[in-house]
A and B are shown apart, each in its own frame.
Chain A
Amino acid sequence: MAEIRVEVNGTVRRSAVEPRLTLADYLRVDCQLTGTHLGCEHGVCGACTVLVDGAAVRACLVFAVQADGAEVTTIEGIAPDGELSAVQTAFREHHGLQCGFCTPGFVVSATAFLRDNPSPTDDQIRDAMAGNLCRCTGYQGILNAVRAAAQSSQERGNDDRAS
């Protein structure tokens, strides 16, 4: 077992983990944060996407021991309790989800993408979202949601500057 210290959604956790425990399993089982979903478990579907030190990564392709000392943000930490982030609101308003299984991964990926690319073209959105698979909603609603989230964030930014 290895001792690790990870800050998850602002809370420092110290745990003893087996080296082969993935960060995804650590979050779901040890931290009881089951919003991080596991689809393929070998880096194809993107359902388990989380932020590690701000960078979107597939939690099934990182061992928990490798995250020792890191700050991790899961879907549970994307917005304060009881509130929705701009990306989450846009997914709800634009039919960006149906069954919801892939949604945590899409929301975390989109959040990181829009932080680094606040006014993307549709082609850039498609490229950035290509690493997450959806099997039921359809990608058009997801594309619309990410585009709307970018626009709403920009409008908010403009309002802030105006006030």
Chain B
Amino acid sequence: MKPARFDYHAPVSVEETVALLASLGEDAKVIAGGQSLVPMLALRLAVFDHLVDVGRVARLRGVERRDGSVWIGAGTTQAAVERSGDIAELVPLLARATPLIGHFQIRNRGTIGGSLAHADAAAEYPAVALTLDAELEAVSPTGRRTVPAAEFFTGLWSTALAADELLTGVTFPVWRGRSGFAVEEFARRRRDFAIAGAAVAVELDDDDRVTRCGIGLFGLGPTPARAHAVEKELAGRHVTEIVAEDIGHSAMSGLESVPTDQNGPASYRRRVGAAMVARAWRRAVEEAGNG
């Protein structure tokens, strides 16, 4: 037994969960799949007096097609996301990011809500949520609110969730029309955390001009980021005028806190990041062009 002692709570409803969170306060932590939390507990990087396990809250699981969007319950495992035909069809970017998460044994336990709430800067799901302007749904004892992904990731492993709030689901908009999607990342060992990665969503008009695009970056700062300036510059331009490598370099220029660590200096990470953006852009545009 490596983790420190804790009291274990296994609520079966969202209401019961948030009531527990409200009464236990900062000493409590929600556990879903536990694939990020349990290693931290085992290494005693984190210690909590109470763990509130949401694994038995049935309402947190599922995938629902809604008008122009797809709702995914926070407790839905990454393996279930990977198997979902609805997600493959309607939110291809999310479907393509999923096999890149950990290993299949990790995805059997890990959940989409856990990944978003853990908010690792090098993780795929936060970057995909940001790229597609997903909306996160949180419930507290006082009610329900919706947080845009752009406001959700507030810092290293930090989110806009309050101590008594539970992430219950995430809604992804469906991109219709001539659109294309790609995720590219680089790690030294297959399926390790990415040194840097990029997610690209692009939509073209019938003349192959960019009508809209999203470029999400991960592993390149304390939170996932969007290359907003580059996206704005690309709107309305013809794809043949756009050089993928230039976009990659431009996307890196706005970044201020690129980490230096055992994988190498920040300058190296920027080069990797630029290459990932360029690759993802080319693949996404190719798919959109065929649509």
**Which A residues are within 8 Å of any B CB, using their own CB?**
2, 18-22, 25, 41-44, 46, 49, 55-58, 60-63, 65-66, 109, 112-113, 126-128, 130-131
Contact string against A for B residues 16-40, beta-carbon threshold 8 Å, 1 for contact and 0 otherwise? 0000000000000000001100110
Residues of the A chain whose Cβ atoms lie less than 8 Å from the Cβ of B99: 127
B160 within 8 A of A: no
B228 within 8 A of A: no
A-B contact count (CB 8 A): 85
- Give the distance to chain B from A112, nearest Cβ to Cβ, in Å: 8
B70 within 8 A of A: no
**Given known A-B contacts A58-B106, A109-B105, A20 and B191 have beta carbons under 8 A apart:** no
B189 within 8 A of A: yes
Residue pair B2, A19 in contact (C-beta under 8 Å): no
Interface of A is mostly: mixed
The one of A20, A109, A131 in contact with B5, judged by C-beta atoms closer than 8 angstroms, is A20
In the complex formed, the residue of A with least CB distance to B42 is A42
- Give the distance to chain A from B30, nearest Cβ to Cβ, in Å: 13
Interface centre among B4, B99, B104, B108 (most CB of A within 10 A): B104
Complex Cα distance, B144 from A108, in Å, reads: 42
Complex Cα distance, B59 from A108, in Å, reads: 31
Residues of the B chain whose Cβ atoms lie less than 8 Å from the Cβ of A22: 1-2, 38
Residue pair B106, A131 in contact (C-beta under 8 Å): yes
Residue pair A58, B105 in contact (C-beta under 8 Å): yes
